[in-house]
Structure 1
Amino acid sequence: MVRRAVDGDRDAFTELVRRHERRVFGVTMRMLGREQDALDATQDAFLTVFRKLDQFRGDSAFTTWLHRIAVNACNDILRKKARQPMLHLAGEDDRLPETGPPVPDHAGGVAGAIDVDRALLEVPEDFRAVLILADVHDLAYEEIAEILAIPTGTVKSRLHRGRLALAQVMGLETDRSSREHAAPAPPSEEP
């Protein structure tokens, strides 16, 4: 399919978009947190793929190349937003919905997913990308390293730090923090 698209077959390219658009949108939505921004990044990513498809060498999987383009599109939008003052018009609120305090839902579910998605937006950008690619899209360390153009060791480090940061944002205790902050055991009263 990729080879046909590279050779100029527009139907093959349309099929590639159809196969991958939901996954790319999932990455962009979790990276950016706003539907319109995610749609823009998804569109930018596929436009870039269309323009540069002839440059795809096949050294890595097509999905790896596509994810890298999508992450770069998100980073471009985040950089633009950092330079612009925030103006949010009434009726334009397409951010993740407010749900109030987290709902105790040990099985996950929609409320838990929304809370995690919202918490991901509070995690530093470098950690967020690794968390999304590893824990949401279940990519291997090596593939994430290739997508983000960083060493595999950096992926592992950012994933660990990102998980700690996410747990902190969500108000969850990690094994490490609970050991560090645990109160000393009371003296035992033996008769």
Structure 2
Amino acid sequence: MRSPAPTDAELLAAHRAGDPSAFTELATRYQSRLWGLALRTLHHPEDAADAVQETLVAAYRRAGSYRGEASVRTWLHRILVNACIDRIRHDSRRSTVPLPERELPARHPDLATELVTRLSVDAALAALPVEQRLAVVLVDVQGWPVVEAAEMLEVPVGTVKSRCARGRARLAVLLGHLREEER
């Protein structure tokens, strides 16, 4: 009979005790979730990859400072949120180059509609203020409970709720054209 997989806290404790594979297992568990949050927050794959790498390096180095007040998952996501905020502040005036227009094959109309919708949603998320974007991505896109999102963002629960509400309202306006296209 296989023994159950170690918990996140057990892996972090093993890493602090010198187990060379413990942190790798922990990072493997959360890498795709961290990547998804970083990509939706930063909207640039290279920046998202850098933020995830910075997060994992910081967590590796600061494992001894983990106090256990929040789950390891929340702790990792909080480090990532900070890395994303730092990047956004640093690159607040990033110039963008529009993608060249090209026609998608006519035999996949659903794929084309899906792509347009995805690009529209990504652009609308990018238009939100960073605080609203982070709240909406954590709660509505990634499904985090509001309480845990508040811990990650280090703000009261009510602040997360109001940021989500404002962000959703703004997204409804920005994405209203998608509803009109369905008609």
TM-score interval, smaller chain:
0.7 to 0.9
Task: Specify the alignment match of 1:161 in structure 2.
Answer: 166
Residue 115 (structure 1) shift: 2.4
Equivalent position to 2:131, from 126, 131, 137:
126
2:52 is aligned with 1:42: yes
Task: Specify the alignment match of 2:16 in structure 1.
Answer: 6
Equivalent position to 1:21, from 31, 55, 80:
31
Q: Which runs of 4+ in 1 moved over 3 A?
A: 85-88, 95-100, 108-111
Structure showing greater radius of gyration is: 1
Alpha carbons 1:131, 1:159 under 8 Å: kept? yes
Equivalent residues, number = 162
Task: Specify the alignment match of 2:6 in structure 1.
Answer: none
Task: Specify the alignment match of 1:170 in structure 2.
Answer: 175
Task: Specify the alignment match of 2:155 in structure 1.
Answer: 150
Matched residue type, 2:55: A
Task: Give the aligned CA root-mean-square deviation in angstroms.
Answer: 2.7
Structure 1, unaligned stretches of length 5 or more? 175-191
2:82 is aligned with 1:72: yes
> For residues 55 and 63 of structure 2, what CA distance do their matches in structure 1 show?
11
Once the two structures are superposed, residues 48-104 of structure 1 have per-residue CA deviations (whole angstroms, 9 ceiling, x without a partner) of: 10111111111111111111100100011111112xx6467xxxx7x989789xxx9
Q: Structure 1 residues 145 and 86, CA, compared in 2 at 3 Å: closer, same or farther? A: closer
Matched residue type, 2:47: D
User: Higher helix proportion, which one?
Assistant: 2
> For residues 94 and 51 of structure 2, what CA distance do their matches in structure 1 show?
18
Matched residue type, 2:38: T
User: Percent identity, aligned pairs only?
Assistant: 39
Q: Structure 1 residues 2 and 96, CA, compared in 2 at 3 Å: closer, same or farther? A: farther
Structure 2, unaligned stretches of length 5 or more? 1-10, 104-108
Matched residue type, 1:131: V
User: Which secondary structure state, in structure 1, belongs to the residue aligned with residue 172 of structure 2?
Assistant: helix
> For residues 164 and 99 of structure 1, what CA distance do their matches in structure 2 show?
31
Equivalent position to 2:62, from 36, 44, 52:
52
TM-score by length of 2: 0.78
> For residues 13 and 87 of structure 1, what CA distance do their matches in structure 2 show?
37
> For residues 101 and 68 of structure 2, what CA distance do their matches in structure 1 show?
42
Alpha carbons 1:68, 1:148 under 8 Å: kept? yes
